[in-house]
Structure 1
C-alpha cells in the first residue's frame, strides 16, 4: 500500500465520494444502499460539518462524514459520525481508523462536545465509543447506538440526526 494522506473534501470531490461510498456499502448486509445519497443530501442541506477524504497515489480511497445532532435535553455541539467508507479492496487495512481518529481530533478542535453514531459495538469502542442507555436513538437495537464524550457531561434523551437521515430513511 502506498502512503495515505487525509484532507478535507474539496470542490470536485463529490462524484468520487458518491461512487466510493456506493462501492463500499454495496456488499454490506445492513446497508439499504442510500449512503451516497445521504452524503449528497447532507452537503446540499449545509449539514456536512466535516467531510474528510483519504487518498493515495490512485486517488480518493476513503471518506468520513460528520453532521449535527439534536438531543432532547438541549445539549449543543454534538455531532453524528457516519457514514465511513473505504474502497473494498483496502478495507481492514487501517484507513477507516485513520479517518475516524483524524475526524475525532478535528471535531474536538472545532469545539465539539461529543460524537454519536450507529455502528458496530465491536469496532467503535476501540475509539472510545460506548453505549449509554441514557442517550437513545429509536429504531435499531440500542447497543449499536454509541457516544463519545469530548467535553462536559453526558447528555440524556432521544437523539435526532440531521434531517437528511430522516429523509433518506423514508425513501
Structure 2
C-alpha cells in the first residue's frame, strides 16, 4: 500500500476530525479537544500547514502546524516560528512510521517556507528523534519544561515566552 502525504482539502475535514479523535481517545494527558483545536485554527485561517497521510483513499494521519509568538524579556518577537500539533495517526496504524513521515514532511515544508523553527509540546522520547529538545530560555507557561521542545530550522533558538494561537485554549 502506498502512503501519500498531501495538503488537506475541504473533502478531508470530517476524516481529519475522526482520525484526531481516535488518535487521542486513550491518551490520559489530554483534554480530548485536539479536533476542536484543528477546527478552530482552520476557521481562524491560522493553519500554516495541514497535511494528511492518505492510503487507498482513506485518511490515516494528519499534522497541523500554526504560527506561534515568542517574545523575549525586552519585548522583541522572534519571527518565523511555528508550533507543530496536533499530530494524529489512527490507533490501528500507529507504530508504522506514518507519524514520522508526517513530522519529517511538515518540517521540510516549514524549511521551504523560510521558517526559523518549530516548537512542540509532547513526549520527549518521541520528538527528540526529530531533533527537538528542551531549552532553558524558551518557556511555555504552565508546562513542565522537559515536555516543551524546539528545533531551529535556520539560526539560533530564541529565548522568551511562547504563545500559541487562542485555538489551543478551546475547551
TM-score category of the 2 structures, normalised to the smaller one: over 0.9
- Quick one: which of 110, 121, 140 aligns to 1:118? 121
- Structure 2 equivalent of residue 164 of structure 1: 167
* TM-score normalised by the chain length of structure 2: 0.95
Aligned twin of 1:52: 51
1:61-98, Cα deviation, whole Å (9 max, x unpaired): 00000000001130011000000000010001100000
- Residue 134 of structure 2 aligns with which residue? 131
| 1:3 has 2:2 as partner | yes
Indicate the RMSD between aligned Cα atoms, in angstroms.
0.8
1:11-160 correspondence to structure 2 within 5 Å = 11-73=10-72, 74-160=77-163
Gaps of 5+ in 1: none
Q: 2 CA distance for matches of 1:16 and 1:143?
A: 32
Long gaps (5+) in structure 2: none
TM-score (norm 1): 0.95
| Structure 1 segments of 4+ aligned residues over 3 angstroms from their partners | none
Q: CA deviation digits over 1:36-72, x for unaligned, max 9?
A: 0000000001111000000111510000000000011
Number of corresponding residues: 167
